[in-house]
Amino acid sequence: MTIHKTDVAAPLAPGVSPRVQALVSEMTLDEKLAQLVGYWVDQGDEVVAPLSGEKVTSTGYADATVHGLGHLTRVYGTRPVDPVERAAWLWGEQRRLKTETRLGIPALVHEECLTGFAAWKAATFPTPLAWGASFDPETVELVASAIGRSMREVGVHQGLAPVLDVVRDPRWGRVDECIAEDPYVVGTIGTAYVRGLQSAGVHATLKHFVGYSGSRAGRNHAPVHAGPRELQDVFLPPFEMAVRDGGVRSVMNSYAEIDGIPVAASPELLTDLLRRRWGFDGTVVSDYFAVEFLRSMHGVAGTHGEAAQLALEAGIDVELPGPDAFPHLARRVASGELPEAVIDRAVARVLAEKEDLGLLDASFDDAPTAVDLDDAEHRALAYRLALESAVLLRNDEVLPLSTPGRIAVIGPNGDSAEALMGCYSFANHVLAHHPGTPMGFEIPTVREALSARFPDVVAAEGCTVEGTDAAGIAAAVELARTAEVAVVVVGDRAGLFGRGTVGEGNDADSLELPGLQRRLVEEVVATGTPVVMVLLTGRPYALGWALDDPSGPAAVVQAFFPGEEGGPALAALLAGDATPSGRLPVSLPRSAGAQPYSYLHPILGGRSDVTSTDPTPVRPFGFGLSYTTFRREDLKADAEVRAGDAFAASVRVTNTGERRGADVVQLYAHRAVASVTRPVAQLVAYARVELEPGESAEVRFTIPASRLAFSDRTLRRVVEPGEVELRVGASCAEVDEAVSLRLTGPTYELGPDDARVVAVEVRRA
């Protein structure tokens, strides 16, 4: 094993206050190490992250906190606990740490918050793929702020979200947690989430830095063989935006190894890039058990102590969820293998974060006596995001349902609350281990929501999400014959590590709908009753049979786990009380065998006459139908711009239909010639625009030329001079109008102060 050479002369973390410096100088080694670990007080037998090899934590909680503690791990999010009772316990525990440890430093409390605060009775919002489908950073920021407000109210300081992994292969189970396959959409929406959460006084944590979603064959914890250009141009930009533009305060490493180097042991990524080049000055926390994995999964360390030193010197400051490897650092300091100055830098970062959060001066006198983690604001935002994110994929004039007679709600997800929520929702993540425990909040199913809207609704399951039991299909088919329309609700059941069809550890080698669900849909369609297929999923499935076949369902609606208000939102959309406005944040795949695929492919990555396989998606990135129509015209742009400057572009969009609706204006770039191959289309700007019937708006973009940057042959991020075609259309595959832009001057190399974000202005006629 090779230990990274440490710069022992380097000072404490930059910007550290005199108070923190004084604290570090006063601390014993045991007190320092205590600040660099978490402790999972409530961890039981539930499998939340399978560990290969022996987990070494055996110290009891009281013994582990004698010298203080860095983090308390998921005190609300491990089992169903009443939030008021738990807050009383937490306030008391923080007082104990202040009064019964020598330095009196409270613990930082972290929780999951990907689809809302992962706690019993807390609101559950749409999954991140739905954030991407909304193309609405503003709403996502409001959602994150509401989540942060709830967390801060009950004493939580850090949230383990957002996930900024760029979707590369829908077979990967954690696609459920991702925002989009486009780095700019991931970056803008992820940064909005960071701003929202941190505006409420809760530090966001970027996951999973970096490359995690590029695993081979879409397998979790699998090797990543991304080249440096893909790493720089696809995987890293969202993280850079969240660091430089969002001011994020925490980052979590990826479990992955990239070309043989585990990220948790990469000073090139965690220190040289993240801190020295990007200027990140927050804390880096390990993904759960990631330090131990350097020994047991990656084999780059022979002992727990070696694993701990590799991670610490690479740039990981805090070991989560508990003290498996970092306590072994004491022995390495004593032997002279590790300079104590390395530990001091990590401790300074942890204490600086606690100081920033107000923990060093907190009194913990009055715990909250009444808590509402699912108030009216939460529900209104959950409804808004669910409504904006549903994507209409097909409509043969059956939607909206005007005055239907009997509606048959069929399918395993039609009357399932769990089917509305993602893998990291508290219900699917934790309550699955506590059968019989109530949800703790209202979450109407699709069937319940339709029953509240229409007078005659009947239901049948037909089949389960998984399995081969066809016994219920015949009855469901007969029920469909009695109805004027059948709403067949199919898709996923989110879970972890084999419990469910999507989610962490639930990867797929097929992109067909699980179980017998396709058979159920096709047999209901064969009755002649018009069918509306509603998909509640955490990944895109191969749906050519449902979308391109004239004899398929009359309408198809895609909802990516729309959360607690997903049922009412979908009922409103089906009824025509609202107009669909979601757009696909990922390409809809043709088959599992066509993966991995991204719309950001060069010419050679598309369809051609020299291969018998066709990777063309069934529906392209950015696609989405509506109950109204839009015209995009009068596209204008500056004729030329110097490669290091910004240029203006504008387009007029008009609602040409008879219903209020929202268009997502998408501006793409196409570059025919460059020094390295470029995508046939690249999203450079977007804007969500609400319009009344007949209303027009001019959408003006101020676009930094850095949006056209890429890594050249020497791996410099540059903007090259040359011709660029700008296109506006309803998706990446459609062109309404196009104009030319000429980049002039010498090749421009991007620097740390270059803008990365497009300014958008909407002027209504």
Active-site residues, by number, are: 221, 287
| 735 C-beta neighbours (distance < 10 Å), count | 16
Can you tell me the distance from the alpha carbon of 604 to that of 23, in angstroms, rounded to the nearest whole number?
58
Q: Which residues contact 342 (CB under 8 A, 6 or more apart)?
A: 6, 8, 312, 313
**Strand 108-111, strand 71-73: pairing:** parallel
Helices (H), 135-281: 137-153, 183-199, 228-230, 237-244, 267
What tokens appear for 144 in the block? 């994150």
What tokens appear for 578 in the block? 């609202």
Nearest Cα to Cα of residue 233 among 572, 488, 598: 598
Q: At what angle do helices 340-356 and 18-26 cross, to 10 degrees?
A: 130
In eight-state DSSP terms, residue 592 is G
Sign of CA dihedral 149, 107, 265, 292: negative
**Strand 555-560, strand 391-395: pairing:** antiparallel
Over 617-677, what HEC string results? CCECCCCCECCCCEEEEEEEECCEEECCCEEEEEEEEEECCCCCEEEEEEEEEECCCCCCC
Q: Are 550 and 625 in contact (CB under 8 A)?
A: no
For 265, phi and psi rounded to 5 degrees?
-120, 25
Can you tell me the distance from the alpha carbon of 472 to that of 372, in angstroms, rounded to the nearest whole number?
40
Nearest Cα to Cα of residue 377 among 48, 123, 682: 123
Residue 487, CB-side half-sphere exposure with 13 Å CA sphere:
35
Q: Is the peptide bond before 321 cis (omega within 30 degrees of 0)?
A: yes
Can you tell me the distance from the alpha carbon of 717 to that of 748, in angstroms, rounded to the nearest whole number?
9
What tokens appear for 70 in the block? 């860095």
Q: Which residue matches tokens 């190894």? A: 257
Instruction: Tell me if residue 432 falls in helix, strand or coil.
Output: helix
Can you tell me the distance from the alpha carbon of 255 to that of 265, in angstroms, rounded to the nearest whole number?
10
For the chain, the C-alpha Rg in angstroms (whole number) is 26
Length of the chain: 765
Can you tell me the distance from the alpha carbon of 306 to that of 263, in angstroms, rounded to the nearest whole number?
15
Q: At what angle do helices 304-314 and 340-356 cross, to 10 degrees?
A: 60
Helices (H), 44-103: 61-64, 83-100
Q: Could you give the C-alpha distances from 414 to 189, 197, 395, 411, 575, in angstroms and in order?
A: 30, 32, 20, 5, 16
Q: Are 489 and 413 in contact (CB under 8 A)?
A: yes
DSSP string, 698-760: EEEEEEEGGGG-EE-TT--EEE--EEEEEEEESSTT--SEEEEEEEESS-EE--TTS--S-EE
Nearest Cα to Cα of residue 325 among 715, 36, 20, 604: 36
What tokens appear for 395 in the block? 């409509």
What tokens appear for 479 in the block? 């029920």
What tokens appear for 237 in the block? 């930009």
